Every structure is written in C-alpha cells, then in structure tokens.
A and B are shown apart, each in its own frame.
Chain A
Amino acid sequence: MRENIGYLFMLVGIIFDAIGCIGLIRLPDLYNRLQASLKCVAMGTSLILIGTMIIAGFSPVGAKAFLCLVFILIISPTTEHALARASYIAGVKLWEGSIIDKLKEDIEAGKKE
C-alpha cells in the first residue's frame, strides 16, 4: 500500500518533468523557457523525491532524499534568478510578443539617479 502511494507521487512527478522538458523545447525565448523549466524542478523532481521518502520510510535512503529535497528547493530558484539576470545584462533579447519589461525600467531608473 505504501509503495503504491509512493509510485503515484513518482508518476505525477514524471508527468511534470515531461511537461517541463516539452516547454524547454517549444517555448520561444530564454525567459519563457526558464519559467517552464522551473516547474520541472519544483514539482517534478520534488515529487519524485517525496515518493522516494514515502517508499523508503525512516531509513538512510529516506533521510538523504529529504536532504536532497531541501537543497533542491533552496538552490534551484537561486540559480535560475542569477542566470536570468545575468543573461539579461549580457544582452539576450526578449521575444517580440513580450509586453512587459520591468527590469529595463529598473535599470533606467537606476541610471537617472
């Protein structure tokens, strides 16, 4: 019974991973791809690790899965934020259908002061 619940979590995680990777292929520019690929981390791999925790129970495998989960949830948004900001400053263009660009306004306001 416990194994089946864990496999169910893993199945949902795999579905989210697949959706994130299809987004990584299909979406038009870098920032949209970042937004899709973070789904793949925050729902996909987290749910897979939660399923591992449920199957393994209170054992070294479960404890390491919990550590991995905490590290992933802290680390991955940080790297994506740093990468998005760095590539904006490096000059990667937005898609031509984008309608809002808050970081540009912030940078221009910073230059005026």
Chain B
Amino acid sequence: MINLFMISLGCCAFLCLFRIARGPTASDRAVAIDILGIMVVAFGAFMSIKTGKEFYLTTALVWTLLNFIGVLALSKFLENRGFDD
C-alpha cells in the first residue's frame, strides 16, 4: 500500500520536474522548486512510516525550513533587490 503511495508521489514530482524544465520565466521555476520541496517532505513522512525510523522526518523538518529560506531569498533576488535590505 505504502509503496503504491510512494510511486504516485514520484509521478507528481516528475510533473514538477517537467515544469522546472519548461517554465517560461524564472518565477515559474521557483514555484515548481517550492512544490518539489513539499513533495520531499511528504516522501520523508512515507519513508518514516515504512521503516519505523524517525530521522527521515527530522530530515523533512530541516528541509521545510531550508526551503522557506531558499524560496524567500530567490523571490528577493527576482525583485531586483539586494540580498541585504
């Protein structure tokens, strides 16, 4: 059951990769990268249920915070402002 869930999550991540490859502007790619990070969090939850080990969810927690910092920095960069104001 959980293998099936993981395969379908992989298909969703493949759709996100398609948008990263095709996206007309840089903002489209930033949105797709954000959603791909969210998919990785869901994948960590699945792996944690499948194996019973908790460090996958720790990785997912850290991934959430780093994704936040990354996309926020990317959006400031897109706005043509510096990183330090």
Contacts and interface: CB of A to CB of B under 8 A. Distances in A.
A83 B48 contact: no
Contacts, number: 147
A11 interface: yes
Contacts of B68: 75, 78-79
Interface residues of A, number: 46
Interface in B57-74: 57-58, 60-61, 64-65, 67-68, 71-72, 74
Interface string A39-53: 011001100110010
B12 A86 contact: no
Contact of A25 (B15, B41, B61): B15
Given A21-B16, A61-B57, A83 B30 contact: yes
A17 B40 CA distance: 12
Which label, helix, strand, loop or mixed, suits the secondary structure of the B interface? helix
B41 A72 contact: yes
Contacts of B65: 71, 75
A103 interface: no
Nearest to B53: A61
A33 B28 contact: yes
Contact of B79 (A25, A33, A89): A89
A68 B60 contact: yes
Contacts of A71: 61, 64-65
Interface of B: 1-2, 5, 8-9, 11-13, 15-16, 18-19, 25, 27-28, 30-32, 34-35, 38-39, 41-42, 45-46, 48-49, 52, 54, 57-58, 60-61, 64-65, 67-68, 71-72, 74-76, 78-80
Interface of A: 7, 10-11, 13-14, 17-18, 20-22, 24-25, 30, 33-34, 37, 40-41, 44-45, 48-49, 52, 55-56, 60-61, 64-65, 67-68, 71-72, 75-76, 78-80, 82-83, 85-87, 89-90, 92
